């Protein structure tokens, strides 16, 4: 299985979910089987007990799981059926580790965030990524993992550390990272500093972005000069900097990513040819 982690910086709600689903849709269109996992770094076991005004609409899965609406995006974009285990929360991970501790399965050792919580997160992702999500019984080729919240939060820290370890567990050629950042427009000038800061924080935590998706909250596309600046200051090539401006419908986001060569990039980066599937043109 190939894993694509989608993380976010600067502010929440910048369109990580839409970028993650769109990437999945493009890979599915190229002929791959795609599944998705959403990580919500809160202590609630699930969204079922959360006020809709607090959390937004709760999405109900076929198995009765009450989850984040992003799972609904994945089911619609990818035409798959997900289970409640495709939504990981801090609450679920802690519950699993604490129950294991009560059963004595840690054999008297001290139970800690590193390695026990971080291992539980990695084991969970590996297990769920292999569950078939369509009516064939095939294991998915690609698993999109969307990390909710923003990198640098206390809440997401155990997940960030788990993913840092995970890239070595599965190997470089099986793990890519898309980091979504905000490029604010100040009186017509596209500002790169928030992106520099969040990419710096990400690297400090041991995660290197393969793609930086720059979200602009206006209909104007990312300017070439802004792209060049982000490339230089964030130590990536310009091909690794994507612009995602405001579009009239979120269903245009896949086209926006495709026009910037995301499938080609991932094909090389993740050596998708090794999956022995004839990849179609998108």
Using CB under 6 A, list all residues that contact ligand ADP. 8, 12-18, 244, 246-247, 250, 253
Residue 217's φ and ψ, nearest 5 degrees, are -90, 30
What distance in Å separates the CA atoms of residue 59 and residue 262, rounded to the nearest whole number? 29
Choose among 12, 131, 16: nearest CA to 62.
131
What's the min distance (Å) between Cβ of 271 and ligand ADP? Answer: 28
Nearer to ligand ADP, 17 or 65 (CB): 17
Choose among 241, 243, 238: nearest CA to 220.
243
What tokens does 114 get? 């590193």
CB 41 within 8 A of CB 89: yes
**What Rg do the C-alpha atoms of the chain give, in angstroms?**
18
What distance in Å separates the CA atoms of residue 108 and residue 105, rounded to the nearest whole number? 8
What distance in Å separates the CA atoms of residue 212 and residue 239, rounded to the nearest whole number? 10
What's the min distance (Å) between Cβ of 70 and ligand ADP? Answer: 6
Choose among 62, 22, 37: nearest CA to 180.
22
Nearer to ligand ADP, 142 or 180 (CB): 180
What distance in Å separates the CA atoms of residue 157 and residue 242, rounded to the nearest whole number? 26
Nearer to ligand ADP, 12 or 274 (CB): 12
Nearer to ligand ADP, 119 or 197 (CB): 197
What's the min distance (Å) between Cβ of 16 and ligand ADP? Answer: 3
What's the min distance (Å) between Cβ of 91 and ligand ADP? Answer: 19
What distance in Å separates the CA atoms of residue 209 and residue 203, rounded to the nearest whole number? 8
Nearer to ligand ADP, 129 or 181 (CB): 181
Nearer to ligand ADP, 2 or 16 (CB): 16
What's the min distance (Å) between Cβ of 215 and ligand ADP? Answer: 7
What tokens does 47 get? 């969204």
What distance in Å separates the CA atoms of residue 223 and residue 208, rounded to the nearest whole number? 23
Nearer to ligand ADP, 110 or 248 (CB): 248
What's the min distance (Å) between Cβ of 17 and ligand ADP? Answer: 3
What's the min distance (Å) between Cβ of 144 and ligand ADP? Answer: 12
């Amino acid at each position: 299985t190939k894993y694509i982690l989608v993380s976010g910086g600067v502010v929440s709600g910048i369109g990580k979910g839409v970028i993650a689903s769109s990437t999945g849709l493009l890979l599915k269109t190229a002929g791959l089987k795609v599944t998705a996992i959403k990580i919500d770094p809160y202590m609630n076991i699930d969204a079922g007990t959360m006020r809709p005004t607090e959390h937004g609409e709760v999405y109900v899965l076929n198995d009765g799981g009450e989850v984040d609406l992003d799972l609904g995006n994945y089911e619609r974009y990818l035409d798959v059926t997900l289970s409640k285990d495709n939504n990981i929360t801090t609450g679920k991970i802690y519950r699993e580790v604490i129950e294991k501790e009560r059963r004595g399965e840690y054999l008297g050792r001290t139970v800690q965030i590193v390695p026990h919580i971080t291992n539980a997160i990695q084991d969970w992702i590996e297990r769920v990524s292999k569950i078939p999500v369509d009516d064939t019984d095939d294991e998915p080729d690609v698993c999109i993992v969307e990390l909710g919240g923003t990198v640098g939060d206390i809440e997401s820290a155990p997940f960030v550390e788990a993913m840092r370890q995970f890239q070595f567990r599965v190997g470089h050629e099986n793990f890519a990272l898309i980091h979504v950042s905000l490029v604010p427009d100040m009186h017509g000038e596209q500002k790169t500093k928030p992106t520099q800061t969040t990419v710096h924080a990400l690297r400090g935590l041991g995660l290197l972005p393969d793609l930086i998706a720059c979200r602009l909250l206006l209909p104007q596309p990312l300017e070439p000069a802004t792209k060049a600046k982000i490339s230089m200051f964030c130590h990536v090539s310009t091909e690794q900097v994507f612009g995602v401006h405001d579009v009239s419908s979120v269903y245009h986001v896949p086209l926006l990513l495709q026009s910037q060569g995301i499938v080609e990039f991932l094909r090389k980066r993740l050596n998708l040819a090794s999956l022995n599937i004839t990849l179609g043109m998108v």
